[in-house]
Structure 1
Amino acid sequence: MSNAPTIEWRDYDAPLLSPILQAALDNFVKGGFHGTSIRQLAGAAGLSVPGLYHHFASKHAILAEIDNLAMEDLWQRSVAALDDGDQAPLARFDRLIECLLLFHAHQSDLAFIAFSEIRSLQGQHREAHIAARDRQQKLLDEVVEQCVADGSFSTEFPRDASRAITTICTGVSQWYRSDGELTPADLAERYGVICAHAAGLPVK
């Protein structure tokens, strides 16, 4: 890996979704995928139903595109975070955890739908999501194992610790609110410490 990130992984100023997809996401968050009609999606996007079908073949195609963009954005940010600076295992772990927490705070609605509506994805789209999820998990598994190998972490169960940490990070999308006590940066700092201790970082 090089030491220069390919993207600004802490930057969330530019919207990820098009207006049509953002309107769909907002409706999926409110009513769920199955509880939202194609007519509701069209109306939220300021389109007729035929107009919406001009852009997407089905409601499922809209969900699949939202899911694909979410998983790819998280992957690109994660790879950039790992690449960005000190390559010591603990430093890489800290940046990856910061990246995961920032994503699930800044993109809480997007992350929530990507997680909760796996059940609604069909065929190749479901398979693609599972492959992307497993690829993402492997990044963290490897970093935790490296931290155990060099003595930074003391856990006897690195894979279990890694999955517990993933649960902590993804769980943020279920409760985080931008008008709450913590900014995304504050949350990343606080929960980053919690995640490190979950892997056996010695308490100083």
Structure 2
Amino acid sequence: MSTAPAERPGPDSPPRGGGRDAITAAARESFAERGYHGTSIRDIARRAGLSLSALYYWHPSKQHLLAALVEEITHDYFRRCDLALRETGDDPADRLCALVRVTVEYRVSRRVESNIANLEWRNLEPENRERLAGLRRAATGLWADIISDGVARGAFHDEHPDEARRAIVAACNAIAQWYEPDGEITLPELADRYAGIALRIVDHRG
């Protein structure tokens, strides 16, 4: 992994306020427009309206920026899932629908970041990929636990729960690539449709 250059400022010369948010926004926009390899660290600094030394104060490399962006949006997803599930009872069908709805809403509200995380995952260096893969496995566990509980309690009758989970997650994740907020389907309608699709996939017999 690349290291910070000598021009990185010390603690006595921090960048102006809002620097981190400006850098994150600039990186998000640049990665979305040009891809990871098509974006330089200078491009990001220029778009953020900051000097290179100010950028390096927060992030020692472009790779560090990519990993930080993927990590932040994944933690945000977990926060939303946790809140949705805490507000839902223990019925497996209700919990699956809650998870589907929050995922659909997340993929729409953080569409750009979702696509970056999906497309640029391969460009994470092994150390970062290994660390962030743990977060992905934890996300898989949320879905797997709910579906397994539904099968165990006789609410879901699908004979292939792992494949059912993959199909539901893949469908929800793909929304970031095609959904248009100004289209004919509102976000609540879309979330409800996908919740219904998920219940059919796991063969829910309410």
TM-score, normalised to structure 1, is 0.85
Partner of residue 168, structure 1: 171
CA distance in 1, matches of 2:185, 2:53: 42
1:112 — aligned with what?
115
SS in 2 for 1:173: helix
Query: Which stretch of the first structure deviates more once superposed, 46-55 or 34-43?
Result: 46-55
Q: In the alignment, is residue 151 of structure 1 matched against residue 147 of structure 2?
A: no
The whole-number CA distance in structure 1 between the counterparts of 2:181 and 2:41 is: 29
Is the CA contact 2:101–2:191 (under 8 Å) kept in the aligned structure 1?
A: yes
2:141 to 138, 143, 146: 138
Cα displacement (A) at 1:201: 2.5
Counterpart of 2:53 in structure 1 is 50
Tell me if structure 1 keeps the 8 A contact 2:88–2:98: no
Q: How far off its partner does 1:193 sit?
A: 1.1
Q: Is the 8 A contact 1:82 1:92 kept in 2?
A: yes
Instruction: Map residues 60-139 of structure 1 onto 2, 5 A cutoff.
Output: 60-139=63-142
- Report the CA distance between 1:190 and its aligned residue: 1.5
Q: Is the 8 A contact 2:97 2:198 kept in 1?
A: no
Match of 1:32 among 21, 32, 35: 35
C-alpha offsets along residues 26-50 of structure 1, whole Å, 9 cap, x if unaligned?
Answer: 1111111111111211111111223
Alpha-carbon distance between aligned partners in 2 of 1:29 and 1:168, rounded to the nearest angstrom: 21
Query: Partners of 1:42 and 1:117 in 2: how far apart?
Result: 20
Letter in 2 for 1:129: L
Provide the rounded CA distance (Å) in 2 between the counterparts of 1:190 and 1:23.
Answer: 34
Tell me, in whole angstroms, the C-alpha distance in 1 between the residues paired with 2:90 and 2:102.
16
Report the secondary structure of 1:18's partner residue: helix
Partner residue of 1:183 out of 182, 186, 191: 186
Aligned length: 187
The one-letter code of the counterpart of 1:138 is G
2 CA distance for matches of 1:111 and 1:44? 21
Deviations 1:107-159 (A, max 9, x none): 11111111111111113311122111111011101101111222222210011
Moved more, 150-159 or 136-145: 150-159
Q: Alpha-carbon deviation of 1:57?
A: 0.5
What is the CA deviation profile of residues 7-65 of structure 1, one whole-angstrom value per residue up to 9, with x for unaligned ones?
xxxxxxxxxx8232022111111111111111211111111223222221011111111
TM-score (norm 2): 0.85
Show structure 1 runs of 5+ residues with no match: 1-16
- Root mean square deviation of aligned Cα: 1.6
- Partners in 1 of 2:186 and 2:88 — Cα distance? 24
Q: List 4+ stretches of structure 1 deviating above 3 A.
A: none
- Kindly indicate whether the alpha-carbon contact (under 8 Å) linking 1:101 and 1:169 is maintained by their aligned counterparts in 2: yes
Distance 2:201 2:30 in 1: 35
